[in-house]
Amino acid sequence: MAIAAVSGSRWQDNNFGAITDTVVSGALAGTVAVGELLVAVHQLFADENQTFSDDKGNTWHTASVRSYNGAVGAAIQFGWAFVTTGGTVTVSATSATSSNRQLAVSRYTGADTGVGPDGTATAANNGTGSNSTVAPGSITGTGAGILIAAGLSPTAGDLAAASGYTAFDLDPPAFTYDCFAVQEKVTGAGGAEDPAFNASTQKDYWLAIGIAFRASGGGGSSIAAISSNDHLMGVR
């Protein structure tokens, strides 16, 4: 089976936490099915690992790496879970430090539930003040699946998708950074690839992370551009 995004449930991003919060939560749109892959990305203003969970008790994993940029003062990290208990699901991200924060989550079908991330998750940052491409680093996948990257910058202006990718602008509020985005691409085979954002939208200060998941069989088709139905509003 090929990996596919669940319509109406791609990178639901309007889940924010105030400066006094140590947790932010967001309810996913629709009914989540057993066997789905949930992938979350979380940003906060602290250099520490972030913990993910949901109200159905599914087992969440935090990516092995995070990106922190001292010049920016922020960190971003992926979390993921294979759903063993479905239904109406609320996902949370937690840290020890109180901080403004933002959580975005996406749902997928067709992932290989027998393995975790395909290859090694990557992270990179640029704090030199000189423009460069927002790129998390190369991931070597073992088969068809999906590549996902997230990028964050305090520099205004959206990150554009690289060729073959679809980008999702996460529309942060005033108390988080203007430029926060995810891009993803369904792949038909394994191999090494850096899921870097389009070089036309280079940034002077940035953070980036990348992760990949393998399909249970076959490749997939490109994910369509985001529509107005792909956002869930839920501000705390």
pLDDT tens figures, 95-113: 999 998 999 999 999 999 9
Alpha-carbon distance of 127 to 122, in angstroms, equals 17
Structure tokens at 202: 């280079």
Provide the pLDDT for residue 224: 34
**Residue, of 1 and 138, whose pLDDT is higher:** 138
The answer to whether the Cα torsion of 39, 11, 230, 145 is positive or negative is negative
Average pLDDT of the chain to the nearest whole number: 88
Of 49, 97, 106, which is closest to residue 76 (Cα–Cα)? 49
Return phi, psi of residue 43, to 5°. Answer: -115, 145
**Amino acid residing at 125:** N
Task: Please tell me the pTM assigned to this model.
Answer: 0.90
**Looking up tokens 């949930």, which residue turns up?**
38
| CB atoms near residue 234 (< 10 Å) | 16
Structure tokens at 48: 């520490």
